[in-house]
Chain A
Amino acid sequence: MLKVLDTGLNTTIQDMGRNGLYHLGVPPSGAADKYSFQLGNLLLGNPVHYAGLEMTLLGAAIEFRKKTVIAVTGAPMDVYLNHGKIPMWENVKVEEGDVLSFKSAQSGVRTYLCVSGGILVPEMLGSKSTYSLNQFGAYIGKKLVNGTELGLGEPLPGVFKQVGKRIPPTYTPQFGDRVDIRVVMGLSSYRLSDEGIKAFLNTEWRVSAESNRVACRYKGATISYKKFEPPFGAGSGSSNVVDIAYPIGVLMVPNSEEIIMLLNDATTGGGFVTVGTAISPDLDKVSQSRPNSTTRFIAVTVDQAITARLEKKKKLLKLTELLDGRPI
């Protein structure tokens, strides 16, 4: 068992998410930066979907009531076990009564704590993930509060022999203040003017503070719409379309001053003009983009998107082999 002494800014239980319920309005949820999250589980030899904690900007303080092995990954934070600093991206043994505490993230947004055997909470609709807009998911959902106690799985056989094992630095992600996000253009981009499309692709967009697990909002340029008779049923605003189911990663243009990208806890449908969709291997970088950091959107074809996806997957497989872990 572990006890949350201090939840930090916003700490939730996440796994690899829930699938197949999107048509009912249930978004996938799950770890926002799946690459970092999976690396934590891989390092421990856990199946990659085992639940862990996701911390946002300001870390938590946690007391362990069980001897086990942990790994901390994601956005760099100073991490202390009792009073000694411990490394991230490395398996660390904790004893019963140890207190793990985190400072604030130096760059990036989300830091993960994975534990051998995973965090044990009941599943809701097939996943332990917390869904931020509603009281469901892991800990029948709300944010964890101070004093919350969570069950831990049995440390996996052999895991204590894995203490000290680490992720080689070439495999750890970078958390900079500037990212390129690849986008497959399309959907209702025909509603934007040529200048609007150019402004979308040629601007360094700034991430707004009103960003979270539901969506990332960007500001920076003016995107103009084409003169267009709004279709029947859409509403008369120039950004209004007849409501569609939104892909995760979709970029909406609800007004000419703002673009909004939907993430894992997305509102799954709606009626705004959409310019395209970020490719899934780049969503980890979006989730780690801080308010006021900048983003450029790069147009790619669907074939390039799939190639990028496979490259990322190969990297994970190679790392798995290197760590002698379980297959993904």
Chain B
Amino acid sequence: MFTLPETRFDFSGDEYIYAEISRNMSAESNFKALAITNELRNRSIPGIIDICPSNASYLIRFNPEIISAHDLLDYLKEIDVTKSNPSELNLKIRIVEIPIWYDDPITREYSERYKNRHPCPELSNFEFIMKTNNFKDKEELIISHSSTPYLISMMGFTPGTAWEFPLGISPEQIIQTPKYLSPRPDTPKQAVGLGGAFTVIYSVPGPGSYQLIGLSAVPVFDPERKLEDLKDMLFLAKPGDIWKHRPIGENEYNRIVSQVNRGTYRYHMKEVEFSPEEYFAKGKEYINQIMEGF
């Protein structure tokens, strides 16, 4: 078991309550956010519009004409104290493989285009991460980034974009990077970005502040419902799922993209039972166990 400090609550405008579980990121805080928001969702309270579990926090949007802001705050505080035990949270999750073309020409071009917003304009985003994390060569960064499984710790930003947080490694082994000084107005679709301790795959073109290190060959959002695996949901990510990145070269990238365009691509994935409690007890050993054969 583990303990977390008390959640801090804040009103935001007239229709949001923000709950900060911790200021630091940890898998513990994330599973607490998931446990509480699952509980709240199951209760179907009138007046609640959105329930958003986030990395180490959660956000509730409500209609203050239907439910009193102060009553809702008291109610949330009560759930936070009594229903926040992630050890009760066993999840049926999917492990999904994401093929990535690292240090590709498109994201390199974006590095160049928006260098005036970057803390280190003379380096590409990829080189900047190598430098700030003491990687000697390109391969070392690629191996480090792709050998670790990642927990989907939050969804958002644009439809289907997900935050990925590394599992089974110690905080000092996690690649960390600052964000852009001012967000880029544009980011290529399916770009792989790093910010803080997180990886994201941008679902659609749009603004962005993460450092770009590659391109995912597969979409994380399918509004046209072309792909069998995304038919029901449109979105690939689900909080609690695990993603694993696989480095690929230009040829394989092009081959997969054409399968996606034809609608024939099937994601490499498997379903497993995931127990946060076992993960906290056994750490990397547990992750290795559930990743076995993948």
Contact = CB atoms under 8 A, between A and B. Distances in A.
Contacts of B53: 23
A25 B152 CA distance: 13
B169 to A, nearest CB: 13
Size class of the contact patch on chain B: 35 or more
B60 to A, nearest CB: 10
Interface string A206-243: 00001000110000000000000001111111011111
A240 B178 contact: yes
Interface string A276-311: 111111000000000000000000001001101110
A136 B234 CA distance: 12
Contact of B179 (A215, A235, A247, A278): A235
A235 B165 CA distance: 13
Interface in B175-199: 176-183, 185, 195-198
A255 B15 CA distance: 26
Contacts, number: 209
B160 interface: yes
Contact of B196 (A134, A235, A267): A235
A84 interface: no
Nearest to A256: B181
A245 B58 contact: yes
A38 to B, nearest CB: 15
Contacts of B204: 133-135
Contact of A210 (B14, B56, B179, B185): B185
A186 to B, nearest CB: 4
Contact of A19 (B12, B49, B154): B49
A313 interface: yes
Given A23-B50, A25-B155, A237-B119, A250 B12 contact: yes
B94 to A, nearest CB: 16
A19 B48 CA distance: 11
Nearest to A307: B14
A277 B13 contact: yes
Nearest to B206: A133
B176 A245 contact: no
A249 B198 CA distance: 25
B18 interface: yes
A280 B63 CA distance: 11
Interface in B54-95: 54-59, 61, 64-65, 69
Interface in A99-156: 124, 131, 133-136
B125 interface: no
Interface string B11-55: 111111010101111100000000001000000000001111111
Given A233-B198, A237-B179, A269-B54, A244 B59 contact: yes
A245 B65 CA distance: 23
Given A215-B207, A233-B24, 6 more contacts: A22-B52, A25-B235, A233-B197, A245-B58, A269-B156, A271-B196
Interface of B: 10-16, 18, 20, 22-26, 37, 49-59, 61, 64-65, 69, 119, 154-161, 163, 165, 171, 174, 176-183, 185, 195-198, 203-207, 209, 223, 235
9 contacts: A23-B51, A25-B160, A124-B223, A184-B12, A233-B176, A245-B156, A246-B59, A270-B157, A306-B14
